[in-house]
Structure 1
Amino acid sequence: MSLVLTGVPVLVVDGPEAEVAAELLREQGAVPVGWGDVATRIGLVRIPAGTQKTAADEALAWAHRNGIPVDDRRPREEAQEQTQDATTSASMSSAGEVILVGGGPGDPELITVAGAKALAEADVILTDHLGPVDLAEDAAARGAELIDVAKIPYSRQVAQERINELMVERAKEGKKVVRLKGGDPFIFGRGYEEIEACAAAGITVRVIPGVTSMTAGPAAAGISLTHRGLNHDLTLVSGHVPPHSPKSLVDWTALAGMTGTLVLIMAVKNAGAIAGELIDKGRDAATPAVVVENASMPGQRVTSATLATLGETIEREGLGHPAVIVVGDAAGHIAELG
């Protein structure tokens, strides 16, 4: 049996191989956390001290109390002696937890079984405006606290720092806190930042992956992103920043030179500018493009265009958020779905 550590805080106890341990954990997707000097020395997420001691037994007690795995790099005899004391201390205290839940593209039936169970058991739910919001409202009807922390594009925004504070505050009250996100927490969802905030506050955190709109949106529209004989590559780009913005991290020249399928999310506002940049950098203006609006929901719309007409088509048809845009030869093949 293998232990899946993606997104899981793991305490690294100081020792001769602590730095090596931290690097191995990062490679497995874990979040190495540290105590006192070791956190500073090898750049770990720092956990709260509680008191001014930095002894390993206190660190271990914190980890056991919060259900966090431990990578203990001390000499064997010392580790065994102090782990027993830590386990005893851990039984004297309890705390809540935070669960990051990917809600899928929107249709409540497309959330995972684990995600639906977490919502059903939650004491507190912090929800976005995307994903299965109806399920969160159902949970509120049975008594769960529902907190709207939506980040609506180009409109009302709840600061990420405030979201982190709310998660930690409620968990410290001993509550089971679900952070419900549309799609998947780790696909432009800032899930890792929320894990770091919880780990730094000593809060146990779990991740339940979700069905990302990157693939679910096109699938709901009958578009195969990897069509046999057409493409062997697939690229996802966030379009919330236009190509010429100093904040853009995309290599548009390299992207334009690729021949596979390109998926744009959060790109409705900047779609015309993105299309123009790709054409200027060499992508064929006649490349098929499709906009899938409100994927998987009753108001789903599928609108075809080309790279050259993408911007004007969005404006003419009044297309809006949320939408997934598919560019490439595969976008020219749309299946008829019942």
Structure 2
Amino acid sequence: MTLRLSNLTVFVLNSPSSAVVAQRLESQGAVTVVGEASSFLNDANPARFALAVIPGDVASAMVEQVIDHASEWGIPVDDQRGQDVDQQFRGGQGIVTLVGGGPGHPDLITIAGARALAEADVILTDHLGPYSLAEEAARNGAEIIDVSKLPYGKQVAQERTNAMLVEKATMGKNVVRLKGGDSFIFGRGYEEWAELAAAGIPVRVIPGVTSATSAPAVAGFSLTHRGLNHDVTLVSGHVPPGNPKSTTNWEALAQMTGSLILIMAVKNAAAIAEVLMETKGGRAPSTPVAIVESASMSEQRVTTCDLGELAEVVEREGVKPPAIFVIGEAAGKRMELA
């Protein structure tokens, strides 16, 4: 599991498993210092630590003091107590962890998410998250099951995904469901939880960094600006305006003045732009638009235009999923990033 900790110094509180914890961190590039609570509390330069790790089997009575001391110095704490999900703890019962993988780049998954992948027996994944981490887990012995739902392409039915989650967990496996962004922002995480709960299988949730906000950020766009807008609205564009299946009030959205974020909207971008402009009191054709494709990845591409030319630009530039659309004045203020 590749978690980028290169050249960062990490304090690991001494415990029976601290050597294993330290070894894992060192394989990720960290420089580890294993010690008792007192050594951390009395360290002459605690600011040198980029992270403090509390192993799950730690027995020190001074753990809370370590955590408080780390907080005082602004040091993140990875508290692993209570996270042991091995077979003995589960009594043979499997468990499923719903992991949000972030916008795509493996560095942008959370520490907890990376750890869950490293410990998984089985990983059900799609291609919108950090798939390379799942491949690395496979090299370490995990079973990988591809349950991709590629836009306008390969589709694995959600019912089949649910059934496989139940099947693997019923076998006593430690199962991870990995997906891009956050599992509960148009990720069908609740549906998976409901199926597992009905089968009596315990479920953990590790939130992810949703692409709705992270994709614009890595591309140089802030969705809010003081004095410019007081609202951000996230909408799925997979169902076009006017479709009987749509539950979105596009006319009301057209009259809002803040940042409108569209996901899964490539196919219907033209129809959406049309209703946003044609609605009385709606968006002006000159409204700025930013399109971020494959955010955070090497193939990331950013395209900007006005709302009035969005349909033409999407066609001419060959915009493809995964893509995030930012519509509003905030899209006209792009930062230059290193």
Query: Shorter-normalised TM-score: what interval?
Result: 0.7 to 0.9
What is the 5 A alignment of 1:167-178?
167-178=165-176
Which residue does the alignment assign to 1:146?
144
For 1:311 and 1:270, locate their aligned partners in 2 and report how far apart those are by CA, in whole Å.
Answer: 9
- Within 5 A, what are the aligned runs for 1:102-181? 102-181=100-179
What aligned pairs does 1:172-251 form with structure 2 within 5 A after superposition?
172-251=170-249
Aligned counterparts of 1:91 and 1:117: Cα–Cα separation in 2: 18
Q: Distance in 2 between matches of 1:93 and 1:334?
A: 53
**Runs of 4+ residues over 6 Å off in structure 1:** none
**Structure 1 residue 91 displacement after superposition:** 8.7
Match of 2:257 in 1: 259
Q: Do the aligned partners of residues 233 and 267 (structure 1) sit closer, same or farther apart at CA in structure 2, a change above 3 Å counting?
A: same
CA distance, structure 2, for counterparts of residue 298 and residue 186 of structure 1: 26
In structure 2, give the amino acid aligned to 1:301: R
Deviation at 1:283, TM superposition (A): 1.5
Could you tell me which residue of structure 2 aligns to residue 294 of structure 1? 294
State the Cα deviation string for residues 291-335 of structure 1 (Å, max 9, x = none): 001100001111001111111101111110101000000000001
Pairwise CA distance, 1:92: 10
Question: Structure 1, unaligned stretches of length 5 or more?
Answer: 1-89
Q: Which residue of 2 aligns with 1:35?
A: none
State the partner residue of 1:307.
307
Higher mean C-alpha displacement, 101-110 vs 244-253: 244-253
- CA gap of 1:92–1:325, structure 2 versus 1, over 3 A, is closer
Deviations 1:158-215 (A, max 9, x none): 0111001100100011100000010000000000000000000010101100000000
CA distance in 2, matches of 1:104, 1:311: 28
CA shift digits 1:53-72 (9 cap, x unpaired): xxxxxxxxxxxxxxxxxxxx
Question: Aligned residue pairs: how many?
Answer: 249
CA distance in 1 between partners of 2:151 and 2:90 (Å) = 45
Structure 1 equivalent of residue 9 of structure 2: none
In structure 2, C-alpha distance between the alignment counterparts of 1:140 and 1:91, rounded to whole Å = 24
RMSD, matched Cα? 1.3
In 2, Cα distance between the equivalents of 1:106 and 1:92? Answer: 31
Q: CA 1:174/1:288 → structure 2, altered by over 3 Å: closer, same or farther?
A: same
Instruction: Tell me the alpha carbon deviations over residues 236-264 of structure 1, each in whole angstroms, 9 at most, x when there is no partner.
Output: 00001110111111101110110000000
Equivalent residue letter for 1:179:
R
Unaligned 5+ runs, structure 2: 1-87
- For residue 13 of structure 1, what is the aligned residue in structure 2? none
Q: Could you tell me how far 1:154 is from its partner in structure 2? A: 1.1
- Per the TM alignment, residue 93 of structure 1 is displaced from its structure 2 partner at its CA by 4.2
Q: Cα gap change, 1:208/1:91 in structure 2, threshold over 3 Å: closer, same or farther?
A: closer
Alignment partners' CA distance in 2, 1:246 and 1:91: 49
Give the Å deviation of 1:94: 2.7
User: Matches of 2:270 and 2:111 in 1, distance apart?
Assistant: 38
Residue identity matched to 1:197: E
Q: Secondary structure at the match of 2:176?
A: strand
> Partner residue of 2:98?
100
- Return the letter of the residue paired with 2:307: L
For residue 318 of structure 2, what is the aligned residue in structure 1?
Answer: 318
TM-score normalized with structure 2 length: 0.72
Please give the secondary structure, in 2, of the residue aligned with 1:302: strand
Query: What letter matches 2:308 in structure 1?
Result: A
Q: Which amino acid aligns with 2:237?
A: G
Query: Identity percentage over the alignment?
Result: 66
Equivalents in 2 of 1:91, 1:153: separation in Å?
Answer: 40
Matching of residue 284 in structure 1 with residue 289 in structure 2: no
